[in-house]
Amino acid sequence: MSDQDQDDIILKDLDDNELVQQMQDDLYDGMFEEVSEGTQILLDRGWDANMVLNDALVEGMRIVGIDFRDGILFVPEVLQSANAMKGGMGLLRPILAASGTKSSTGKYVIGTVKGDIHDIGKNLVAMMLEGAGFEVINLGINTSVDEFLEAIDTHEPDIIGMSALLTTTMPYMGVVIEELEKRNILKELPVMVGGAPLNQEFADAINAHTYGRDAAMSAELAKVIMGKNR
Amino acid sequence: MDVRINQRRHKTLILACGALAKEILVLTKQSEDNVDLHCLPASYHNFPDKIVPGLKKEFDQRYDQYDQILIGYGDCGTGGGLDRFLKDYPKAKRLPGAHCYAFYAGLEAFDDMMEEELGTFFLTDYLVRHFDTLVVKGFGIDRFPNLKDMYFKNYKRLVYLVQDPTQDLTAQAQKAADFLDLEYVERNVGYGVMADDIEALTDQGRPNV
């Protein structure tokens, strides 16, 4: 037996608290298989899917978000963590959907704006929103104002979120907000914006309701908008 | 990184991304006695929030020593932050466009290429030479190969904007496109708008005789 084998942690041998702690560590380290396994063990032990989501996955990603903000983790590591969370979410999503709890927080339409094909950050936000209990309608990339309007008509969301990675595409967020204003939608529909080149100053300038500086923060702010911050 | 600082006081400073150093040295060869070149780390390409603080530090040390300063950056992902910063420094002017891709290709040609295919990933000579460092290692693909698809799944083609063509660089660029599973396109653009701006600047900076 190698040293590594001797050091291997058997997840099913851990008690609940140890397992949740270990899952947060595994999430931090981007360990897809381990996070999936831990999720399944907790479900098999009778844990409520929402509890698994909040205590193990969302809390783990919150820590990742803090260390990203503080410059301890970088984008590749955060993406690995997100990928690991995706493993757990894959097991929880059907259960949450079946129990009807997924829309308990609110409905959120999100998309990367027209001219922009970058979706990593946007998908990370979408996942954190799901983790926060939102029903997320993800419009994908290169989303035009008409597509946002159509999604608003179809889904009647509580919040709309726009993402951009490029300096050249971020002004399009202002175009969408202007159109919402013209149609008298803006006063009742909070618009959140985010993306690497954005800042609060830009969000204020285009009359966005809220600027989310990272995925974890965006999910927290979305809950605040819904009056469900913890 | 001081690429070229002359001993006597000169009127013109080019403060640029390290990714442009080689090309700027070529373009200023005829006027090297009149132009100082100082470069910030090329790694800021992946960390645009370091650009403005980096320039600020340089301005604090050098701004008063020059009559004109060319900033060898586009917006480069600063979200307009570079332009806001430069408003307080009237002697300084940056290169046009969002990125070096734009001022190398020419602004209209760059827009046309984006119009043609939104999913275009650009490389320049520098980025081809340092593809492994800035893209493969810089994006963490060496450590986490699964990230390659996550980063590049929406891209369709790689356009190599050639400054100074060599067979070796072309082969490396093609290899990069293969690695990323993208269609390979090559455009021989030379130094683009950057050459015009540097020529204008060095003409102004040249002493009258």
Please check whether residues B10 and B83 belong to one and the same domain.
yes
Tell me the residue type at A155.
H
**Can you give the pTM of this predicted structure?**
0.86
More confident residue, B86 or A230: B86
Instruction: State the virtual CA torsion across A217, A218, A223, A227 in degrees, nearest 10.
Output: 90
ipTM of predicted complex:
0.83
Q: Do B144 and A115 touch (CB under 8 A)?
A: no
At residue A2, the pLDDT reads: 46
Task: For residue B82, give the CATH number of its domain.
Answer: 3.40.50
Residues B56 and B82 in one domain: yes
* Bridge partners, residue B2, by sequence: B38
Looking at the domain assignment, is residue B102 inside a domain? no
Give all strands of the β-sheet with A134-138 in edge-to-edge order: A134-138, A106-112, A159-163, A191-194, A210-211
B178 and B127 share one domain? yes
User: Which of B98, B141, B147 has its CB closest to that of A168?
Assistant: B98
Asked whether residue B164 falls in the same domain as residue B197, the answer is no
Residues B177 and B198 in one domain: no
Residue B69 lies in a domain: yes
Q: Are A138 and B151 in contact (CB under 8 A)?
A: no
* pLDDT at res. B136: 97
Nearest to B119 among A117, A120, A198 (CB): A117
Q: Label the pairing between strands A191-194 and A134-138.
A: unpaired
Does B3 contact A at CB distance below 8 Å? no
- Among A172, A178, A169, which residue's Cα sits nearest to residue B79? A169
Beta bridge partners of B111: none
Residue A228: the pLDDT is 64
Domain A103-230 has CATH 3.40.50.280: yes
**Does any domain span residue B116?**
yes
Cβ-count burial A114-124 (b if 16+ within 10 Å, e if not): bbbbbbbbbbb
Same domain, B70 and B120: no
Same domain for B61 and B28: yes
CB A185 within 8 A of CB A152: yes
On chain A, the residues whose CB falls within 8 A of the CB of B47 are: none
Counting one residue from chain A and one from chain B, the pairs whose CB atoms sit within 8 A come to 55
Q: Is there a single domain that holds both residue B132 and residue B197?
A: no
Q: Which residue of B has its CA nearest to A116?
A: B118
Hey, are the CB atoms on B79 and A167 less than 8 Å from each other? yes
* Amino acid present at B60: D
CA dist A28 and A45 (Å) reads 23
Domains in chain B, number: 2
A142 interaction partners in chain B (CB closer than 8 Å):
118
Q: B139 touching A, CB under 8 A?
A: yes
Rounded to the nearest integer, the mean pLDDT of chain B is 91
Identify whether residues B137 and B178 lie together within a single domain. yes
CA B193 distance to own-chain centroid: 12
**What is the domain range of residue B22?**
2-97+192-205
Does B98 contact A at CB distance below 8 Å?
yes
Residue B129 resides in a domain: yes
| Ranges of each domain in chain A | 13-101, 103-230
Task: Give yes or no: residues B197 and B135 share one domain.
Answer: no
State the nearest Cα–Cα gap between B61 and chain A, in angstroms: 27
Mean pLDDT by 10 residues, chain A (230 residues): 61 96 96 97 95 92 86 90 93 85 78 96 90 90 98 97 94 97 95 95 96 90 81
CATH fold, domain A13-101, is 1.10.1240
Between the alpha carbon of residue B165 and those of residues A40, B157, B168, B189, the distances in Å are 55, 20, 9, 10
Residue B80 shares a structural domain with residue B131: no
- Report if residue B41 sits inside a domain: yes
